Structure 1
Amino acid sequence: MANNAASRVDQGSLEAIFDGPPGQQLQPIVQCVQVKPLAGSTAPTERYRVVFSDIKNFVQTMLATQANHHVHEGKLRKGCFVRLKGYNASFVKGKKILIILDLDVLEELGECEKIGEPKALEVKPEEDNKGQPGTIQGNDFYGNKGQAQQNKQQRSIPSHTKPPSSSAHANIYPIEALSPYSHKWTIKARCTNKSDIKTWHNRNGEGKLFSVNLLDESGEIRATGFNDQCDLLYELFQENSVYYISSPCRVQIAKKQFSNLNNDYELTFERDTQVEKAEEQDGVPQVRFNFTGIADLQDVQKDTTVDVVGILKEVGETSQITSKTTSKPYDKRELTLVDQTGFSVRLTVWGKTAASFDVSPDSVVAFKGVKVSDFGGRSLSLLSSGSMTVNPDIDEAHRLRGWYDAQGRTDTFESHANLQGASVGAAGGQRNDYKTISQVKEEQLGMGEEADFFSVRASIIFIKQESFAYPACTTDKCNKKVIETNPGEWHCERCNITHPKPEYRYVLSINVSDHTGQIWLSAFNETGALIMGKSADELMSLKKEDDSSDSKRLGEIFQEANHKMWNFRCKAKLDNFQEQQRVRYQVSSASPVNFVQESARLAGLIKAYHI
């Protein structure tokens, strides 16, 4: 295996990447001899240092975040072989390094110990003296922070893309490598979103600004122009167009409250920043999405920013609300999105987007940069830095369209507002998550001072027929148990009223089971009627008939209610029974499982997690 793999490695290719002519299209096969996370990097922007060898030489590389999945999936590891498909070459602190944008792991070549005795690529004196000060991501390549590293040498080498038409833009810097210590750089990026011009007034003065989201093959970054730069650049930037942007341009720590992009830094246009629309508009990717399924929103933390794609099911009317901070009115519009997971979600758009919204229902719409709220279970809000794309030409949208045209139009959808799968319980302040029965017991829900709320999907395996209902007062909203004092006289002690007959109400004790265990639940009138398919009054009438005859109709109805699967919303709370404490699990509501939707939801989860 090692001999076969060695014959496939492109010896000398790493040196050729740095010393070859600009614009060459090398895609060498090399061996991975080391993979390590950069010191100080953490999820979700964890960075990896990878050492590649072509048998003759080895080179230090940094993996762009969009290639991290090769490490997370366990494919990119020591001893494996890869084909380098996209990269940027640079000199950093007297060393030649690569920023890897794209690669393929060649699993058919297997793995083996390091082949040969490769040597580090040497930096020629004339190369080492031509660089500019700078580091990668504000740290040195090995993760050691320190501003003293600014004095080290760095030079940008042509990226592995088609050569730009203008020699002035020969050295293109990847967005992924920008940091406060980067100087004399040029990026080639697509404008994926442009904000409206915003104004401000405070005691320090007044001004205006706008911002754009910029994207290249290595990553995304937000750029903002203030006052004069706002006047100069606002009309130049157009969404979906590609631009060359050159320093001087300030790189600073990103203000995450204003941006939904996965970058620790952002740009501020300065007086001498150069912005030029590229003649060639290809070679730069379109908007990049990282979609979260609508069903999965119940597992997303409040205030997280996500991307979603769905079928536009409903479009609400425009309404106006007044801002608490500015006291100015602004427009809002509520939309309803659905997808093949069987769930729907409410998404709010604001301002000009809400006022000018003219997308037809049943369209596929992708949203980038929406904020997750726990209002009404789970809901979404499009941020000012976010964007909306109607019927995008991407695989996810095509699959969604195929599903909707085939079956989705006639499906019914479960709402997060109904499930409240990620909302806060009114009494206990606990998350009402879906759990297995074993999790309910292992987590000791209900054992604390406050009640715990949860949801469980389980099948009924037994319902107690003894005392399944009680005689209740018929006074509106009373529901207290009444006592038969004389034939035809039922007295309520709370209301101090005697009724000719009671209204029977359910108090069911049901045993339910899932694949992890079983548990007893208490269910009351509305849930009982839903489970049994009849009112408690009707069942009491049948019980009296059965008692006076040989009929077994009541038992048949209880048997029919068994072995059906339900979504139960429950409250767990300590209760005293015969001087002993026990946890009582009370059903607050229930809904039957829609197996078509549940199958689609599970299939969506399998695809989402690449299982």
Structure 2
Amino acid sequence: MKFSNRTVGQAIGSSSKASGPMYHSIATIPRTTGSYDTFDIIGVVLFIGDKRMVKGAFEKQNSVSEIIITDHSSHQPLTVSAWNDMADFFKTKPAENQIIGFTSLRVTSHNVYLLSYFVLCFGLSTTMSFLIIPTPTGDKADSLSHWSSSHGSLLHGRKTQILKTRMLLNERQLTIIAFIKSKTAANTIQEEQYWIKALLENCSYNDKRKFIGCDQCNKKTDNERNAVFECPWCHKKESVAKPRLALTFDAHDSTDSIQLTAFNDTIAEFFGKTIDELYSPATYEHIESYQDIAQSLRVKPIEIQLGSTVALSKSGVLKWVLKSIAIARDTSTNPQHLACKSSDTHSSQESIPAQLTDATSLHAPEPSSASHKVETDTHSSEQIVPASLTIAPYDPNHHLHQRK
């Protein structure tokens, strides 16, 4: 006889029924748990993503859909990944602010698909014994129902923020560093991405750090180069020890500055070399070339995509990291072109696209006709690493002024 997490014990001859779900709130879900720990949760549905196919172990195709819920305990919404049969549960749109219960979910940090790329988020994932309860009952369900009915405007705002964020991922709108630094964990969600145009300081070849690390998670390892090992950080059994690079620098525009760290391919793009070339000892000629590049980054602005780390959805801590860069090789060397006009940027960031005026739509918005393929235009000097979004031509009206 074997017992699993589906097993329910009940006294012989007892007339009592098996107990129902023991619902947690979003804030009380442990952020670190055992691999076999499961939790029941109840929440208000804000958004339901389209079903997509994911390749799993042994090349098996699995279907998954993201369900975003919220409650009174946390500013951050929570993503529930419903796999395979449960991915089709919400074929029809649920009622406005519908409260739904979920049972037997496991804690995970997973990639949420956003139109053309993935964002690492903390969330919950379904298990074999998972159930969706469309009409949950009990004290916690009644309490959440009362809260949702009296906070309709708050729920509308959270829903709009999710839809607005996903729609704006199709566009590359520049903002200013001051706006980025004004954001807090209470008004930012994990999926938000922004672009800034800035100059770089302390971005020289000599400032980089090089080490041997895991090719999956970039964590440092004592293994020899190209050795295959099981990484104690990401737990990948066939990780390969590869040269890794890190470079911390300051990006600034006319409004403020922010410290960022670039890794591997981004650094290679900065200096126009491969990771292996930058890891190897540099010749005198190479060092002179790198110094010229570092100087150009101080006077030629580049576009940088920023996003938050997984700590935002996991522990409510907001920290911005570099996601990708766009370097315009033919940008004017005039240092007067350094940052977007503040009033234009704020208005573009705070405006809501016409498609989002009806924020009651819970399903994923239709993708735009813009292409998301990674392409290289042989007639253009602008390059993206990675090319996750289509580059809009630089607007000359957004003149940049060097920060004093």
Task: Tell which has more relative contact order, 1 or 2 (C-alpha 8 A, sep 6+).
Answer: 2
**TM score, norm. by length of structure 1:** 0.25
**TM score, norm. by length of structure 2:** 0.36
